[in-house]
Amino acid sequence: MIERKTELPEIFESFAEARQNGFLAMKKIKDSGKGVVGQFCTYTPLEIFMAGGLVSVGLCSTSDETIPEAEKVLPSNLCPLIKSSYGFAITDKCPYMYFSDLVVGETTCDGKVKMYELLAEIKNVHILELPRRQDTPEAKALWRAELVRLKERVEKDFGVTITDDNLRDAIRRRNVERRLLKELYELSTMTPPPITGLRQLQILFGSQFKFDWDEKVAEIQNAIDSIKAAYAAGERPVADTAPRILITGCPMGGVTEKVVKVIEEAGAVVVAYENCTGAKQLDRQCPEAGDPMTSIADHYLQIGCAIMTPDKNRFELLERLCEQFQVDGVVEMTLQACHPYAVEAHSVKEFMQKKGIPYLQLETDYGTADIGQLSTRAGAFVEML
């Protein structure tokens, strides 16, 4: 069994309030005896951790604060998500990374895969071998076997037993969460939408950091109810005429909110997020009948992402969302040096051209120096819609 870290880090006192609160929340979880699993990717089957009575938390960091430290080891022309996440790990500045007893990585992009090798020198790491095909029996069998291997690792490291009934219960609970978050983002199918894209993003992103499941679902339900009530009472935070934007591309949150801000400051509204912060992880329910491990494996393997080849599920979802949300334009955010999304951007552009939907690709990083340039490009795009 692994040795679990429960003490606060030495540098804790010097952290700003939000970071301290993160540390304290995690410390409370650890003091209650719960194990914590950190993960980086939407393909990670959270049901397995939930079924083991563990708390799981997303570790993709979204700020450039620790990138200089990371660049002492990693090349500077690497995706900022990878550099930032590694930087937070080596500096002990992220409460979630600090308190993770087990860190689960996956074979998605090359940069992450190689970073995980370095991370394994300082953290307890398990790598899931994710196939890059979604439709072959071999890929499905490999992925199911990988999830069984993960379950066994979790059982061994945390001294727990995960039964099929535990997995079924976790599937059911995760489905409730997905259904509620989907109901929340689908409120923006209305014209005008009842919330701005920034608020939608903040709720979707923030929900990842609520660790008590009952409290989380109650909070999401409250958010839905209060948004509906305000709309019914006549509140209109968005103009009827605002062009409706769908965002696709790399995961968002933290400093990349800047992309949403420049779009909305230009007079448009972001109505939908196809990326990992939004619909792609929430759109479908995991089947509750049948063998639970097979259901979980099949469910996660069908997520669309540029690391898949071919990536037809991403395009299927994009098409559906564009129609459902009556989208006037699509903005793709790619992070610098993210090859999978940068290359696939060409296909997304062509796809949107065929549908007659204007498309803009914005490449950015975790800094703020490019806000002026992003604003100019977003402004010109919104003006022509």
The binding site for ligand BJ8 (CB under 6 A) comprises 41-43, 79, 81-82, 108-109, 111-112, 250-251, 276, 303, 305, 307, 335, 338, 340-341
Per the listing, tokens 């703020």 go with 368
β-pairing verdict for 244-249 and 329-335: parallel
Q: Report how far residue 184's alpha carbon sits from residue 282's, in angstroms, rounded to the nearest whole number.
A: 11
Q: With respect to ligand BJ8, which residue has the nearer C-beta, 147 or 382?
A: 147
DSSP state letters, 285-347: PPP-SS-HHHHHHHHHHT---TTSSS-HHHHHHHHHHHHHTT-SEEEEEEETT-HHHHHHHHH
**Token digits for 147?**
């999830």
CB of 166 or CB of 313, closer to ligand BJ8? 313
CB of 92 vs ligand BJ8, minimal distance in Å: 22
Structure tokens at 274: 């196809």
Q: What are phi and psi of 151, to 5 degrees?
A: -55, -45
Tell me the two tokens of residue 54.
């563990």
Nearer to ligand BJ8, 14 or 77 (CB): 77
CA gap 46, 36 in Å, rounded: 12
Task: State the Cα–Cα distance between residues 180 and 186, nearest whole angstrom.
Answer: 10
38 or 243: whose CB is closer to ligand BJ8? 38
Residue number with CB closer to ligand BJ8 (51 or 303):
303
Q: Between 120 and 187, whose beta carbon lies closer to ligand BJ8? A: 120
Cβ at position 97, least distance to ligand BJ8 in Å:
15
Q: Which lies closer to ligand BJ8 via its Cβ, residue 259 or residue 335? A: 335
Q: How far apart are CA 236 and CA 230, in angstroms?
A: 8
Shortest Å distance, C-beta 255 to ligand BJ8: 14
Closest approach of ligand BJ8 to the CB of residue 125, in Å: 16
Q: 184 to each of 56, 180, 234, how far by Cα in Å?
A: 22, 6, 18
Question: Of 165, 125, 350, 374, whose CA–CA distance to 263 is shortest?
Answer: 374
Give the residue with the Cβ less far from ligand BJ8, 27 or 112.
112
Closer CB to ligand BJ8, 170 or 306, in the complex:
306
The closest of 356, 359, 362, 357 to 375, measured between CA atoms, is 362
- Tell me how far apart the alpha carbons of residues 63 and 84 are, in angstroms, rounded to a whole number: 7
Quote the least distance from Cβ 250 to ligand BJ8, whole Å. Answer: 4
C-alpha to C-alpha distance for 292 and 128, rounded to whole angstroms = 18
Q: Exposed/middle/buried for 142, CB within 10 Å: 0-12, 13-18, 19+? A: middle
